[in-house]
Structure 1
Amino acid sequence: MQQVSSEIMTFKGSHYDLGVETAKWLQTTEILKNREKEWRKRTPRFDIDINETYQIFQTYAPQIWEELRGMQDVLNLPTRQMLLNFAHYRFTDLKDSGCTVYIGDDYLLRNYDYHPATYDGRYLLFQPNDGGLAQIGPTSRITGRMDGMNEAGLVMGYNFMHRKKPKNGFVCYMIGRLVLQYCKDVPEAIQFLKEIPHRSSFSYIVMDKHLNHAIIEVSPRSIEVRYDRTCTNHFKLLTHENRNYTKESKARLHQVLKHTSHGLKPDDAFQLFNDPQYGIYSKLFKSWSGTIHTVLYNPQSLEAWITLGKNDTPRVFNFNDWLNGNEVNLSPLQGAIDTDLTFATH
């Protein structure tokens, strides 16, 4: 068991200037040093094409390219190294992971299950002035998002499915960022996910302020949409794409279905996901599947809840208040997780 923390960062301005501030924050952490160690240990199973990556970003996310440029101007890293670490568009290894999602009457609830050494430990509220929608949520691999909500009330989370037969495309955490950056509702998110290139197989779960919701099952080869309220780590429509071992995923899904029902209140639902006794919170950190955070998003009130680790009261952010000029509590998030594995910042 160890105590962990996550920084709270707020920023209003251009993507380039966000990149500058992000790079300054990176320089106060061990993330870059740890990333370099990882690349020395293992050769990336993908290539970097600088010109093609630039063209892809100009097509789908020109503002985020400016964010990368701001980071590079501070970090003074070669372009290839910047793209390797922060662009998240890959040509040609993803570890297995967990994650569980439940969609309530007016909220989306999620456990993010992965390896602590990949966790940024940074929660970001960002309002751009040069295009794209304002967003709130934890960052993933610095420029990406593993879940979050935007100013239009669109909420997004994703669940890993498998890493078989990857293709050229964006990886999950950049795709999550792009959905929040450019989509205002569920139909726009579905259409966007149909258009962009995908590296690997994931389910993207979305909900909007009209309380529409969908689970979009995506592989590099196909995409299907189902309208359901629960998702773990196996496809229900693209079943031919599932990995061989889905027993643990199905067991977690069974626990969600067992304990949830129509009208489940947000407080009760949050406790259900955050308390290990219910079999949804995971302690499998060494298998890349331990619960690092639990989040709940309300797309109508623009409230975002989060807690690190287990059995804790969530920190609640009113995103709408912050967008209207009110301050938020910037003291770091604190929590306890059942492992001695450290975050990427340490």
Structure 2
Amino acid sequence: MQLNWRAISEDEPGPKWAGLFHEYWPDYHRWWAREGPEARPGFLDSHKALRAHMPELLPLYDQLCELAGGTDHAARFLSFYCPPPYLSSCSQAIWPGEEPVMVRNYDYSPKAFDSLTLRTKWQGRTVMGTSDGLWGLVDGINDAGLAVSLTFGGRRVVGDGFGVPLILRYVLQTCETAAEAGKVLARIPTHMSYNVTVVDAQRRYLTALMAPDRKTVITHQAVATNHQERVEWASHARFTATVERERFLLQRLTLHVEPEEKFINAFLRPPLYSTRFDQGFGTLYTAVYRPQRLQMELRWPRARWPFDLNDFHEDLRLIYTPEGQAQDT
């Protein structure tokens, strides 16, 4: 499987973002409308939900809707309000060294992935991370040194709330510390269950166990895989080995704290690294976030791609999975 991975920087919403949207929109539209557009909330309900829970994003949302062409379906999609359900299988952990480091594997279908690292300076806040839905993020970091990442929470329940990639965008646009992020994650409704881990430049971290049908639980967990306080979806847990991956990471963090590089490399091998691409749960990348340095790095078994928030270089690379090879083009 080949991914044409791009790194793109645009300070304000403009022609680069508009070009990306129109390129990706046909596939996203088919996904968003697969149950019929009437299955998704209308524009007024979507706009009202954004105004109630993430009002700071409304001016940005309006800009993006205009760049997307101003159509009803595009605006409803970009609200991320009550999107179609989707599943992923990820692992993330905070390495407890002198410098805070967050490491995560993103396991998902390569056919439903932006393959895009996006750096923006929207509303005066510099953010870079892995794009989803073209303004949502599945992981990222901002100029305050706050890093955030998500995993699926391993529950079937779907409710009224936002797709979590937009929640991560909101956290990075509006928060500077783990404590501030925790307050945001505790109040914003999510449409499915997710575990969101945040770490700031002062080494403070937390994991929020979010769900559409119960109150968010804020924990001091340094590890998150694909269940919450207990396994609630047994077949999914077995298929993704969520308990085994959690146990593997906890042992590496508690029984013997190993060097940073050795810990990161463990994400590039089983049981954390998955090659189930044909089943939608292959490891598309490993991300390493260093909040104090304002840096992120993407890794594969035989390749690395570093990024610096203040020295970001646009590029295109061909990523091959599951072999994990990458080369410049």
TM-score norm. by structure 2 comes to: 0.87
Residue 19 of structure 1 deviates from its aligned partner by 5.4
Is 2:57 the partner of 1:73? no
Q: Which residue in 1 is equivalent to 2:140?
A: 148
Counterpart code for 1:255: F
Q: Which residue in 2 is equivalent to 1:311?
A: 301
Residue 296 of structure 1 deviates from its aligned partner by 0.6
Q: Pick from 185, 197, 202: which aligns with 2:194?
A: 202
Residue 138 of structure 1 deviates from its aligned partner by 1.1
Residue 188 of structure 1 deviates from its aligned partner by 0.7
Q: Pick from 204, 207, 218: which aligns with 1:212?
A: 204
Question: Is contact 2:138-2:150 (8 Å) kept?
Answer: yes
Counterpart code for 1:317: F
Q: Pick from 215, 218, 226: which aligns with 2:219?
A: 226
Q: Pick from 305, 321, 328: which aligns with 1:337?
A: 321
**1:85-144 residue CA offsets vs partner (Å, 9 max, x unmatched):** 2210128x423320001110210000011111221121111123x35x321111111110
Residue 68 of structure 1 deviates from its aligned partner by 3.6
Q: Which residue in 1 is equivalent to 2:327?
A: none
Residue 263 of structure 1 deviates from its aligned partner by 4.5
Q: Pick from 255, 266, 273: which aligns with 2:260?
A: 266
| CA distance in structure 2 between the aligned counterparts of 1:255 and 1:263, rounded to whole angstroms | 13
Distance 1:39 1:137, change over 3 A: closer
Over the residues paired in the alignment, what is the CA RMSD in angstroms?
Answer: 2.4
Residue 45 of structure 1 deviates from its aligned partner by 8.6
Secondary structure of 2:149's partner?
A: strand
| CA distance in structure 1 between the aligned counterparts of 2:171 and 2:90, rounded to whole angstroms | 19
Q: Pick from 87, 101, 110: which aligns with 1:116?
A: 110
Same amino acid, percent of matched pairs:
21
Question: Is contact 1:48-1:83 (8 Å) kept?
Answer: no
Residue 181 of structure 1 deviates from its aligned partner by 1.2
Counterpart code for 1:249: T
Residue 212 of structure 1 deviates from its aligned partner by 0.8
Question: Is contact 1:120-1:140 (8 Å) kept?
Answer: yes
Counterpart code for 1:70: Q
Question: Is contact 2:178-2:200 (8 Å) kept?
Answer: yes
Secondary structure of 2:159's partner?
A: coil
Distance 1:64 1:198, change over 3 A: same
Counterpart code for 2:322: D
Q: What are the ranges of 5 or more consecutive residues in structure 2 without an aligned counterpart?
A: 324-329
Residue 302 of structure 1 deviates from its aligned partner by 1.2
Is 2:288 the partner of 1:296? yes
Is 2:90 the partner of 1:99? yes
| CA distance in structure 1 between the aligned counterparts of 2:77 and 2:45, rounded to whole angstroms | 16
Q: Pick from 22, 26, 31: which aligns with 2:17?
A: 22
| CA distance in structure 2 between the aligned counterparts of 1:336 and 1:190, rounded to whole angstroms | 36
Residue 290 of structure 1 deviates from its aligned partner by 1.1
Secondary structure of 1:269's partner?
A: helix
| CA distance in structure 2 between the aligned counterparts of 1:191 and 1:185, rounded to whole angstroms | 10
Question: Is contact 2:186-2:217 (8 Å) kept?
Answer: no
Residue 257 of structure 1 deviates from its aligned partner by 3.4
Q: Which residue in 2 is equivalent to 1:173?
A: 165
Counterpart code for 1:103: I
| CA distance in structure 1 between the aligned counterparts of 2:90 and 2:315, rounded to whole angstroms | 26
| CA distance in structure 2 between the aligned counterparts of 1:314 and 1:32, rounded to whole angstroms | 29
Q: Which residue in 2 is equivalent to 1:43?
A: 36
Distance 1:187 1:259, change over 3 A: closer
Secondary structure of 2:250's partner?
A: helix
Q: What are the ranges of 5 or more consecutive residues in structure 1 without an aligned counterpart?
A: 340-346
**1:234-266 residue CA offsets vs partner (Å, 9 max, x unmatched):** 112xx3x72233231112223323445564333
Question: Is contact 2:43-2:76 (8 Å) kept?
Answer: no
| CA distance in structure 1 between the aligned counterparts of 2:18 and 2:308, rounded to whole angstroms | 26
The aligned length equals 315
